Amino acid sequence: MAERRVTIGWAEGLHARPASLFVRAATATGVPVTIAKAGGSPVNAASMLAVLGLGAQGGEEVVLTADAEGADAALDRLAKLVSEGLDELPETV
């Protein structure tokens, strides 16, 4: 199982627009990905309600996991998006 631990780069955390960007990016990977706050229960990264329900704030650590072909590449792209707090989806996602 592939895993990435990243610190949320968006000041507002995974709320509204950042959560929407993240969910779209997670869905676009085509790989089942989960996200959890450090020490918390993982949720489906492709579910807007689940991601919003985490209540993840800027500066908090989250854990991204996937267990499928292409998991490492997918998690690398998602980790970059989250850690850099990008305002739009990078072309590679």
**Side by side, which strands form the sheet with 43-44?**
2-7, 61-66, 33-37, 43-44
Provide the 3-class DSSP secondary structure of residue 74.
helix
Active-site choice (2, 9, 15, 50) = 15
15 is catalytic: yes
- Helices 16-29 and 71-84 sit at what angle, rounded to 10 degrees? 160
Whether 89 contacts 21, CB under 8 Å? yes
Q: What residues are labeled active site?
A: 15
